[in-house]
Amino acid sequence: MMEALDIFTTASLWDAVLRIATPLIFGTLGALICERSGVLNLGIEGILTLGAMVAWMTVYQGGDLWTGLAVAAFCGGMFGLLHAFLTVPLGLSQHVTGLGITLFASSLTYFVYRLSLPVSSSPPTIEPFQPLAIPGLSDIPFLGEALFSQTAPTYLAILAAAITAWVLAKTPLGLAVRMTGENPHAVEAQGLNPIRIRIGAIVVGSALMALGGAFLTTATFNSFFPTMVQGRGWVCIALVVFASWQPGKALLGALLFALFDAYQLRLQHVVEGGVPYQLFLMVPYVLSIVALIVMSRRARVPNALMAPYRRGER
């Protein structure tokens, strides 16, 4: 039993928490931005897959890691644009369209991957992001190793959360996005175009999602393989609800979630015999469902979420 608690005092656990949290932070922020503007983006799972492959492929073909991230973000944004076009001006079902985007993005990803790299037994690898020790802070005993020796995209994720929080709360653009998610008619009546605002939010949100996917292949692992996203997108959608659509809470939620995940991975090695490893692997999904149930009563959903807005509709 002591061993189970000792895990918490290992720096490697906390180091892993931030690493596991990074794609979730990007994904959750992306989904959150879409939803604050009033559009559910279930394309997330496919966009994560796409981002993972595209970033990896760029680097594999000789691009540098940052170029890989940029290309991933761009491609994610393009799929966001497709989702936006179908759900905003056309007003199609956000549920079904999102699933369609996920199916399309993942199948296209696998197609392109298989096309450029015919079957091989072990997937080829790239040189991933290395930990970037923050001078000074990383020398602090324990904390330095636990928190300040991350790869650059992890710091970027935390920065993205801060920027998202600021933009939404403090800027006219953020107000416009929030108001579009609450009542697009109010936005239109004040001379702004809610359709453009939604499209913009979805494109930006989807680009962030793709960064989350890209992190998987350029930092967590060093190769791409199908099904590597493993439902992380759906977890992010649950985390948005858990976070009550607040970027700060989204960051916390992703970290908390990653803590459970990192902990169960280590617990697997500690717990002796008899407990099937699959039970541990279920933890993230079960937690997501629990989070949804717990927060369902208290969460403040954007009022116009999933309500299509058509101009001049009578």
Partner 1 sequence: MRLERRTETPLALALSAPLIAVAIALALSGVLIAIAGANPLQAYYEMLKGAFGSRLSISETLTRTTPLVLTGLAAAVAFRSRLWNIGGEGQFYVGALCAAWLGHSIAAVLPPVLAIPVMMIAGMIAGALLLLGPVILRIRFGVDEVVTTLLLNFIVLLFVSMMIEGPLKDPLAFGWPQSVAVSNDVMLPKLLSRSRLHIGLLIAIAAAIIIYVVQSRTVFGVKSRAAGLNAAAASFAGVSLGSTLLVVACISGALAGLAGAIEVTGLKGYVTLDLSPGYGYSGIVVAMLAGLNPLGVVATALFVAIVFVGADSMSRAMGVPSFIADVIVSISLLTMLVCLLFTTYRVRR
Partner 2 sequence: MTQPPVLELSGITKIFGDLVANDDISLNLNHGELLALLGENGAGKTTLMNILFGHYTADSGEVRAFGDVLPPGKPSAAIEAGIGMVHQHFTLAGNLSVLDNVMIGTEGLGLLNSARRPARRKLAELAERFGLQVDPDAMISDLSVGERQRVEILKALYRDARVLILDEPTAVLTRIEADKLFETLRTMTKTGLSLIFISHKLHEVMAASNRVVILRGGKVVAERNTAETDRAELAELMVGRRVVRPKRQDQRAGDTVFSARNISVTQGERTLLDDVSFEVRSGEILGIIGVSGNGQATLGKLTCGLAEATQGDLTFDGRTAKSFTPHDLVESAAGRIPEDRNTEGAIGEMAVWENSVLERISEPRFNRRGFVDRKACRDYAAELIRRFDIRGATPDTGTRLLSGGNMQKMILGRNLASTPKFIVANQPTRGLDEGAIAAVHTELLAAREAGAAILLISEDLDEVNALSDRIQAIVKGRLSAPVAASEADSRRIGLMMAGIWEGEDAA
Q: Which of 78, 92, 132, 252 forms a contact with partner 1 (CB under 8 A)?
A: 92
Among 221, 230, 252, 265, binds partner 1 (CB under 8 A): 230
| Cα 167 to Cα 33, 58, 247, distances in angstroms | 11, 31, 10
* Amino acid found at 224: F
Q: Build a one-symbol-per-residue string for 164-203: x at contacts with partner 1 by CB under 8 A, - elsewhere.
A: ----------------------------------------
Residues 273-292: x/- map of binding to partner 1 (CB under 8 A)? Answer: ---x-xx-xx--xx-xx--x
What are 150's strand-pairing partners? none
Q: Is 63 helix (H, G, I), strand (E, B) or coil?
A: coil
Specify the amino acid at residue 133: A
**Interface with partner 1 includes 61 (CB under 8 A)?**
no
Residue 66 amino acid letter: W
Q: How many angstroms separate the CA atoms of 22 and 236, rounded?
A: 11
Cβ neighbours of 162 (radius 10 Å): 12
In the shown chain, the binding pattern of residues 160 to 199 toward partner 2, with x for contact by CB under 8 A and - for none, equals ----------xxxx-xx-xx--xx-xxxxxxxx-------
Query: Which one-letter DSSP state was computed for residue 122?
Result: S
Q: Shortest distance, CB of residue 6 to partner 1, whole angstroms?
A: 27
| Among partner 1, partner 2, none, residue 172 binds (CB under 5-8 Å by kind) | partner 2
Q: Residue 295, Cα to own-chain centre: how many angstroms? A: 19
Q: Is residue 159 exposed (0-12), middle (13-18) or buried (19+ Cβ within 10 Å)? A: exposed
- For residues 139-156, one letter each, b for 16 or more C-beta atoms within 10 angstroms of the residue's C-beta and e for the rest, the string is eeeeebbbbbbbbbbbeb
Q: Which is nearer to partner 1, 109 or 150 (CB)?
A: 109
User: If contact means CB under 5 to 8 A according to the sort of partner, which of partner 2, partner 1, none does residue 230 touch?
Assistant: partner 1
Are 24 and 232 in contact, with CB atoms under 8 Å apart? yes
Nearer to partner 1, 170 or 311 (CB): 311
Positions touching partner 1 (CB under 8 A) are 42, 82, 86, 90-93, 95-97, 99-101, 103-104, 106-108, 110-111, 114-115, 230-231, 234-235, 237-238, 241, 276, 278-279, 281-282, 285-286, 288-289, 292-293, 296-297, 310-312
Positions touching partner 2 (CB under 8 A) are 170-173, 175-176, 178-179, 182-183, 185-192, 300, 302-303, 311-312, 314
